[in-house]
């Protein structure tokens, strides 16, 4: 019996670039950044006041930012029996803000399990529902869990929905960590000074290849392997040895029954902070050696969309596989020494790429790695 | 593959204990899990323990008991291939309120980084990973129903699929906590036997009572 494959059959995303994967991918290819001056709330007291936000959402209005985003994505052609994994870090934290600012609502309404129920209703799915939160790896970890459920035969169809919003709570928090660059983030650049926050929501429908064929659904890509590992090192700083990310990638390669030589390019977490980018390049160098692969980060363009980042980056990587072209790292001008020969400020064309590696890392030293394969052999 | 319950640690309002070694300590008058953790549970001091949020402190104490029950001496210098998956009923709500209230009290000019870090529901698990050197997967989950059963099933699946060597799976609620250590091979019982014992929406004390039946099954 052939092993069950976990395949992506439908997806959509809403980012500051607009709705859909193409709007984001095209903007990245043009080197356009969505990071702009913040108008949603006053940030004049903070060292910086820029972020990538979706312009026409109402803040502290009748609906939360993330629910307004999801209402633009759902309904969608999702089988009602699908399980649901909601990936987020802070979900509807604007409800808690409103409560503490005296604008009605209960702080308790900001709980992630309450958002889970709302998303299940909006997406019209009745399968087992789970919130998964693993800092900035939340949505890539959720995709890994979805793929695992499919491969093990526990589920046939899993909807992964992801979201996070730029709110005053989150902006104040990242400002307090001194983590924000005063200009749009410059991943892997010598002059990088921190990250830029971004926001968005998206979904990916993961199915068994058998069911996808049975229902005649187009297969966008396979989640062929995944790995998760922790640095067990520091709450906010990555490991100086990069062992967590190295472990996560190594596990993903084993899970995909492949090795480094098959990886055509790497979608890195690439936040633009000194420590993160350094840690990632150290891991890639340790694993790929002199066989440098194109590495890019989308966060100079989209901003760091926190819990939703892995899902967006997965969809951009699939688009890059399809088009045979890797987007540039936006705002990357003066390449850091350790990223030289890996990271580019211009698009990189590839000859029929088939396999991509997507990595994410987050607070608490969490690391995830996903291996995506295109339908290269046409043997679905 | 046979995934088993290797060990467990628990803390309730009355005391704390372990499953495999069947140890149980009732709190003395005036004693709390936090004073007991410092004096009797941790084998080495937890950095800034008193300044951590409540969820992190109860998670650290419960995980310490589970690892002790398994005879695992984990530390940052001696990292182990153990992952951790945890849940609770309110996520980081308590710290969320503390953080934003503090920010408002400071005239919306200054936020405290050491509070913000714990507004991630996964942060208590991160504290445990760092202190005990747990280098496996780390996930916070919340479920619409059957939280403990769901995360035990998820952990078992991760071990079966080779995604983790061992998994700590548990929950906290207020000042109570319960963590199971799951792994391959012989243990106190199979995970499926534990799942059969558990009801939907049981509180931690009830689960502890039921789980202790497992030790009598051996």
Range B58-84 average pLDDT: 95
- pLDDT tens digits, A100-116: 999 988 999 999 999 99
**Where in chain A are the domains?**
7-214, 222-373
CA distance, residue B162 to nearest chain A CA (Å) = 8
The span from the CA of A148 to the CA of A152, in Å, is 6
- pLDDT tens digits, B130-153: 999 999 999 999 987 889 999 999
Res. A380 pLDDT band, cuts 50 70 90: very low
C-alpha closest to that of A309 among A235, A199, A224, A230? A199
pLDDT at A140: 98
The dihedral sign for the CA sequence B175, B181, B187, B189:
positive
Apex B119 CA angle, B115 and B122, nearest 5: 125
C-alpha closest to that of A364 among B98, B143, B139? B139
Query: How many alpha carbons fall within 13 Å on the CB side of residue B129?
Result: 34
| Alpha-carbon distances of B22 from B34, B66, B107, B110, B198, rounded to whole Å | 21, 11, 52, 48, 19
Assess contact for A308 and A195: CB atoms under 8 A: no
Q: Across the interface, do B129 and A232 touch by the CB < 8 Å criterion?
A: yes
Relative orientation angle of helices B93-105 and A93-100, to the nearest 10 degrees = 50
- pLDDT tens digits, A333-350: 999 999 999 999 999 999
pLDDT at B42: 94
Assess whether pLDDT exceeds 50 at residue B184.
yes
By three-state DSSP, how is residue B90 classified? Answer: coil
- pLDDT tens digits, A239-278: 999 999 999 999 999 999 999 999 999 999 999 999 999 9
Structure tokens at B172: 């906290």
pLDDT at B217: 53
CA distance, residue B2 to nearest chain A CA (Å) = 15
Q: Which CATH superfamily is domain B3-217 in?
A: Thiolase/Chalcone synthase (3.40.47.10)
Quote the mean pLDDT of chain A.
96
Check whether domain A7-214 has CATH 3.40.47.10, yes or no: yes
Q: Would you say the CATH fold of A222-373 matches that of A7-214?
A: yes
C-alpha closest to that of A14 among A269, A300, A296, A305? A305
Q: What are phi and psi of A331, to 5 degrees?
A: 75, 10
The dihedral sign for the CA sequence A96, A100, A102, A108:
positive
Which of residues 88 through 127 in chain A touch B, CB cutoff 8 A?
89-90, 93, 96-97, 100-101, 107-108, 110-113, 116-117, 120
Q: In angstroms, how far apart are the furthest CA atoms of chain B?
A: 60
- pLDDT tens digits, A49-92: 999 999 999 999 999 999 999 999 999 999 999 999 999 999 99
Apex B61 CA angle, B56 and B66, nearest 5: 120
The span from the CA of B9 to the CA of B204, in Å, is 11
**Nearest chain A residue to B78, by CA:** A232
Size of interface A-B (CB pairs under 8 A): 179
Its ipTM equals 0.96
Assess whether pLDDT exceeds 60 at residue A377.
no
Which of residues 71 through 110 in chain B touch A, CB cutoff 8 A?
76, 79, 83, 90-91, 93, 96-97, 99-101, 103-104, 108-110
CA distance, residue A16 to nearest chain B CA (Å) = 24
Q: In angstroms, how far apart are the furthest CA atoms of chain A?
A: 62
| Spatial CB neighbours of B192, under 8 Å, sequence gap ≥ 6 | none
DSSP A327: P
pLDDT at B201: 65
CA distance, residue A41 to nearest chain B CA (Å) = 11
The span from the CA of A343 to the CA of A225, in Å, is 24
Neighbours of A267 (CB within 10 A): 28
Res. A30 pLDDT band, cuts 50 70 90: very high
C-alpha closest to that of A344 among A273, A291, A265, A288? A265
Assess whether pLDDT exceeds 90 at residue B212.
no
Apex A265 CA angle, A259 and A269, nearest 5: 105
* Reported CATH class of domain A222-373: alpha beta
**Chain A contact present for B119, CB below 8 A:** yes
Burial profile B3-30: b = 16 or more Cβ within 10 angstroms, e = fewer: bbbbbbbbbbeeebbbbbeeeebebeee
Res. B214 pLDDT band, cuts 50 70 90: confident
Which of residues 158 through 217 in chain B touch A, CB cutoff 8 A?
158, 160-163
Q: Which of B109, B112, B122 sits opposite A364 (nearest CB)?
A: B122
The structure tokens 């952990």 sit at B155
DSSP A180: B
Assess contact for B105 and A101: CB atoms under 8 A: no
Which residues does residue A208 pair with via DSSP β-bridges, in sequence order? A6
Output B208 or A135, whichever has higher pLDDT: A135
Res. A212 pLDDT band, cuts 50 70 90: very high
pLDDT at A379: 46
Quote the mean pLDDT of chain B.
93
| Spatial CB neighbours of B104, under 8 Å, sequence gap ≥ 6 | A100, A101
């Amino acid at each position: 019996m052939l092993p069950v494959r976990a395949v992506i059959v439908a997806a959509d995303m809403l980012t500051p670039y607009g709705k859909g994967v193409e709007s984001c991918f095209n903007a990245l290819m043009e080197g356009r950044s969505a990071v702009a001056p913040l108008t949603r709330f006053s940030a004049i007291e903070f060292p910086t006041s820029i972020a990538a936000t979706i312009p026409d959402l109402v803040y502290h209005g009748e609906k939360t930012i993330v629910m307004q985003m999801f209402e633009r994505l759902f309904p969608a052609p999702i089988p009602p029996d699908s399980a649901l994994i909601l990936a987020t870090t802070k979900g509807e934290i604007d409800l808690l803000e409103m409560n503490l600012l005296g604008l009605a609502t209960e702080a308790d309404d900001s709980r992630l399990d309450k958002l889970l129920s709302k998303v299940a209703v909006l997406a019209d799915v009745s399968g087992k529902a789970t919130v998964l939160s693993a800092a900035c790896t939340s949505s890539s970890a959720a995709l890994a869990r979805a793929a695992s459920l499919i491969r093990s035969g526990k589920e046939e169809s899993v909807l992964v929905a992801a979201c996070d919003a730029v709110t005053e709570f989150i902006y104040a928090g990242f400002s307090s960590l001194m983590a924000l660059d005063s200009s749009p983030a410059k991943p892997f650049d010598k002059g990088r000074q921190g990250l830029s926050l971004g926001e968005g929501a998206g979904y990916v429908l993961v199915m068994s290849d058998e069911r996808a064929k049975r229902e005649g659904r187009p297969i966008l890509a396979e989640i062929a392997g995944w790995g998760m590992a922790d640095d067990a090192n520091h709450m906010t700083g990555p490991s100086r040895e990069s062992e967590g990310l190295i472990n996560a990638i190594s596990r993903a390669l084993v899970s995909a029954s492949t090795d480094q030589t098959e990886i055509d390019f790497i979608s890195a977490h690439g936040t633009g902070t000194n420590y993160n980018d350094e840690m990632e390049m150290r891991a890639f160098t340790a694993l790929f050696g002199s066989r440098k692969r194109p590495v890019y980060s989308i966060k100079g363009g989209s901003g760091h969309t926190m819990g939703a980042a892995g899902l967006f980056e997965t969809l951009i990587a699939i688009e890059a596989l399809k088009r045979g072209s890797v987007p540039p790292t936006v705002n990357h001008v003066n390449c850091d020494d350790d990223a030289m020969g890996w990271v580019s400020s211009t698009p990189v064309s590839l000859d029929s790429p088939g396999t991509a590696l997507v990595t994410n890392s987050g607070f608490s030293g969490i690391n995830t790695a996903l291996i995506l394969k295109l339908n290269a052999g046409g043997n679905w | 593959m046979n995934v088993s319950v290797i060990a467990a640690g628990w803390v309730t309002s009355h005391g704390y204990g372990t499953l495999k070694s069947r140890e149980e300590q009732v709190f003395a008058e005036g004693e709390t899990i936090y004073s007991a953790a410092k004096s009797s549970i941790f084998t080495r001091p937890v950095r800034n323990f008193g300044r951590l949020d409540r969820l992190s402190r109860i998670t650290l104490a419960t995980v310490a008991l589970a690892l002790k029950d398994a005879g695992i001496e984990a530390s940052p210098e001696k990292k182990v291939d153990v992952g951790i998956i945890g849940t609770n009923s309110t996520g980081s709500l308590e710290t969320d309120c503390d953080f934003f209230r503090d920010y408002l009290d400071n005239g919306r000019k200054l936020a405290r980084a050491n509070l913000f870090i714990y507004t991630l529901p996964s942060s208590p698990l991160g504290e445990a990973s760092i202190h005990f050197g747990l280098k496996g997967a780390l996930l916070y989950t919340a479920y619409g129903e059957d939280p403990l059963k769901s995360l035990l099933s998820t952990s078992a699946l991760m071990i079966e699929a080779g995604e983790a060597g061992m998994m700590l799976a548990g929950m906290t609620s207020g000042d109570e906590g319960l963590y199971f250590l799951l792994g391959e091979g012989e243990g106190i019982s199979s995970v499926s036997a534990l799942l059969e014992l558990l009801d939907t929406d049981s509180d931690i004390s009830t689960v502890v009572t039921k789980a202790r039946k497992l030790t009598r099954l051996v």
